[in-house]
Amino acid sequence: MIGEIQINSVATYQSPATLGDLRRINFIFGANGTSKTAISYVVLGCDLSGRVVLSFAVDQ
């Protein structure tokens, strides 16, 4: 399970951003143009090397 996503210089995330405290199911919402799709590309594993860090958590 992904526990945290760190994004920098991807789409509208020009400054470092962290999505933390992620759960088994997460609902990400926002206005058009706020890079919700960029987050899905990160999870799908698109080549964004050096700009994204995924931290995995162990299910308990």
pLDDT digits (tens, 9 = 90+) for 37-59: 888 877 777 666 667 777 777 66
Amino acid sitting at position 42: V
Domain boundaries, the chain: 2-56
Look at residues 8, 1, 7, 19 and name the one whose alpha carbon lies nearest to residue 57: 1
Q: What percent of the chain has pLDDT over 90?
A: 3
Computed over every residue of the chain, the mean pLDDT equals 79
What is the rounded CA–CA span in Å between residue 25 and residue 12?
24
Query: According to the model, what pLDDT value does residue 7 have?
Result: 83
60 against 8, higher pLDDT: 8
